[in-house]
Amino acid sequence: MLYWHNSRAKEAEEHQSKGQCINAARYCSILDRLKEAIRRKRPGLLRRGVVLQHDNATPHSANLTQQWLQRYGWEILPHPAHSPDLAPSDFHLFGPLKRHLGGMAFETEDDLISELRNWFDNLYVDFFRVGINSLLSH
């Protein structure tokens, strides 16, 4: 599951099938859908500019992706190589998610996706703001 949020709420999510790889072309297609979700929910954000943080995985750093980001004027927060502690999802999101899912078993992938959506939808209001603001102390 791919999940994007701002400091207040979820912007978009997308489910990837098991074993499905993401290359630069697919990642740009995903970014197109994210851009459309932002346009529908918060059109002013696209005019003011989107700031995106992703890691240095090959699809994120590929020329095709960099061209897409430049074309739409999206700013990328730097993410030093081999520095997972700087990604909010690594230190703020995955710990609580791991604790929530601990001991659960799912019969199907759809059951897991449903539980993930439920967990994301029921996070406290300031969860993402706290995570983003904690970047300042890292």
Query: Is residue 53 packed enough to be buried (19+ CB in 10 Å), middle (13-18) or exposed (0-12)?
Result: middle
Cβ contacts of 66 within 8 Å, gap of 6 or more: none
- Comparing 8 with 106, the larger pLDDT belongs to 106
Provide DSSP, 34-97.
Answer: HHHHHHHH-HHHHHH--EE-----HHHHSHHHHHHHHHHT-EE----TT-GGGSHIIIIIHHHH
Instruction: Check if the beta carbon of residue 19 is closer than 8 Å to that of residue 4.
Output: no
CA distance 88 to 128: 9
Please provide the average confidence, as pLDDT, over all residues in the chain. Answer: 80
Q: What is the pLDDT of residue 29?
A: 92
**pLDDT tens digits, one per residue of 112-135:** 889 988 888 888 777 777 776 666
pLDDT band at 46 (very low <50, low <70, confident <90, very high): confident
Average pLDDT of the segment spanning 70-90: 71
- Comparing 53 with 113, the larger pLDDT belongs to 113
* Res 83 pLDDT > 80: no
Average pLDDT of the segment spanning 38-47: 82
Q: Which amino acid is at 13?
A: E
* Res 88 pLDDT > 70: no
Q: Which two tokens stand for residue 39?
A: 């346009």
Q: What is the value of pTM for the model shown?
A: 0.69
CA distance 8 to 4: 11
* Res 13 pLDDT > 90: no
